[in-house]
Amino acid sequence: MLVPVWNEIADEALREKIRAGQQPVILRNLVGNWPLVQAGLQGMAALSEYLLQFDQGKAFQAMIAPVSAKGRLFYKADMSGFNFDRMNGELREALNILAALSTRAPCPGFYIGSKVVPEYLPGLEAETRMDFLDGTIEPTIWIGNAVTVATHNDDSENIACVAAGRRRFTLFPPDQEANLYMGPADMTPAGRPISLVDLHSPDFEKFPLFHHALEQVQVAELGPGDALYIPTHWWHHVEALEPINVLVNFWWKGDPPELSN
């Protein structure tokens, strides 16, 4: 089943959807006017130039997965650790690596995840605003190539905005946890437990209940400027589909402060 799409977004209707907090919805071209989105549409050079104007030299941590991982950030086969390494470097270095990898196929997976914008790229938050969210809800940024983040959930409301590239979200309702076979809570790639099921090649002998999860699945395809509202605790599997991808998201708990009664 496809996630519903809103092409015409009225503020009050969107606020009611956020208050309800029940179902995902695609917000088509919600942030198409962001300068970040416009820079991404012009290519890697323009995107890098735009991002670097906010760079203060703070080190970023990136995940690098071998070609054999095919972009899937996951555990090693024996569950002794993860199938990627971590490296620290500055944004300019990361963008140069991303640009170089974008001309290679196949190539290693490269991923910078969940960096708070005012901390890492101060000033960019002023250009990635939403009128219905106040400034206490800080955006985070995600930069990488065609990598896959396994099915997980968040304990917050979420609006995920594609700034560059394309993304596919595969979503499952909160009550599907038992059918998704979550990995260990004390060893996670990024702080949240992930599903052990390979969405594109599920082992139904090992994970037989996953059939039931697939009966409830919803899929969202997003391009530059599109956003996806993900209610609290909805499970989501995220695939970046282009050699260069940037996402900005907003997390909050309960009603957004501006919308509270």
Name which of 188, 184, 110 is nearest 143 in CA terms.
Answer: 110
Residue 4: pLDDT band (50, 70, 90) is confident
Average pLDDT taken over every residue of the chain: 92
Q: Answer whether residue 256 is part of any domain.
A: no
In a domain, 259, yes or no: no
Q: Domain of residue 245: give its range.
A: 5-249
Looking at per-residue confidence, does 131 or 136 come out higher?
A: 136
Reading the block at residue 1, the tokens are: 């089943």
In a domain, 20, yes or no: yes
Is 260 contained in some domain? Answer: no
- Residue 21 predicted with pLDDT over 80: no
E strand or H helix at 106:
none
Q: Region 174-192: what's the mean pLDDT?
A: 94
What local confidence, expressed as pLDDT, does residue 23 receive?
87
Residue 193 lies in a domain: yes
Confidence at residue 183, expressed as pLDDT on a 0 to 100 scale = 96
For a pLDDT cut of 70, what percent of the chain falls above it? 92
Which domain CATH number covers 171?
2.60.120.10
Of the listed ranges 38-47, 128-137, 163-172, the least confidently predicted one is 128-137
Do residues 78 and 114 touch, judged by C-beta distance below 8 A?
A: no
Q: What is the mean pLDDT of residues 203-220?
A: 98
Report the pLDDT averaged over residues 17-25. 73
**Domain membership flag for residue 35:** yes
pLDDT in tens, 49-100: 999 999 999 999 999 999 999 999 999 999 999 999 999 999 999 999 999 9
Number of domains in the chain: 1
Q: How confident is the model at residue 261 (pLDDT cuts 50, 70, 90)?
A: very low
| pTM of the full structure | 0.93
Lowest mean pLDDT: which of 88-97, 98-107, 121-130, 131-140?
Answer: 131-140
- Residues 227-249: pLDDT tens digits? 999 999 999 999 999 999 999 99
40 assigned to some structural domain: yes
Residue with tokens 């963008």, as numbered in its chain:
95
What's the pLDDT at 54? Answer: 98
Q: What's the pLDDT score for residue 191? A: 86
Kindly list the strands in the beta sheet with 218-222, ordered across the sheet, starting from the edge strand earlier in the chain. Answer: 72-73, 148-152, 235-240, 167-172, 218-222
Asked if the model's pLDDT at residue 7 lies above 90, the reply is no
Residues 214-229 pLDDT 10s: 999 999 999 999 999 9
In-domain check, residue 207 = yes
Nearest one of 160, 127, 159, 125 to 139, comparing CA atoms: 125
Give the burial class of 80: count Cβ atoms within 10 A of its Cβ; 0-12 exposed, 13-18 middle, 19 or more buried: exposed
